[in-house]
Amino acid sequence: MATRKSPVSRKSQKPIGAQALVDDIRSLIADARLHVATTANATLTLLYWRVGQRIRTEVLGGDRAEYGEQIVVTLSRQLSAEHGSGFSDKNLRRMIQFAEVFPDEKIFAHRLCFSYEP
């Protein structure tokens, strides 16, 4: 025989006014948007470092050779065509500089926030 569940008592729940409900939902939305922006920024920062590191080590070999600069321009054209102007040669050079200033990912990665705690 199935047991019958008792209905939830309305007396145990505090009634919430319409404005309080709207305010609570607005707060949830604002917190979620902040989390999305923070996570996106942290993810992009890590991506840009990894792109700069990859170019720095594999293409430039750690040196600033003239042929390496031309490769950056060519790479920029290909990436910009697929992924937009965020991968211009100027931005790729900044990514390389980022990787040069922070040669170890651990130096800055621990400061990036990926957790969501409302």
Q: Is the pLDDT of residue 72 over 60?
A: yes
| Mean pLDDT computed over 65-89 | 90
CB 105 within 8 A of CB 47: no
Tens of pLDDT, residues 18-56: 989 999 999 999 999 999 999 999 999 999 999 999 998
| In the block, residue with structure tokens 């800055």 | 108
Q: Measured between alpha carbons, how far is residue 69 from residues 30, 59, 75, 81, 88 in Å?
A: 43, 9, 10, 19, 13
% pLDDT > 70, the chain? 76
Q: Measured between alpha carbons, how far is residue 71 from residues 44, 60, 84, 85, 108 in Å?
A: 23, 9, 18, 17, 27
More confident residue, 17 or 112: 17
Determine the residue type at 69: E
pLDDT at 24: 95
pTM of the model: 0.72
pLDDT at 97: 95
Neighbours of 115 (CB within 10 A): 7
pLDDT at 81: 97
pLDDT tier at 69, thresholds 50, 70, 90:
confident
pLDDT at 54: 94
pLDDT at 78: 97
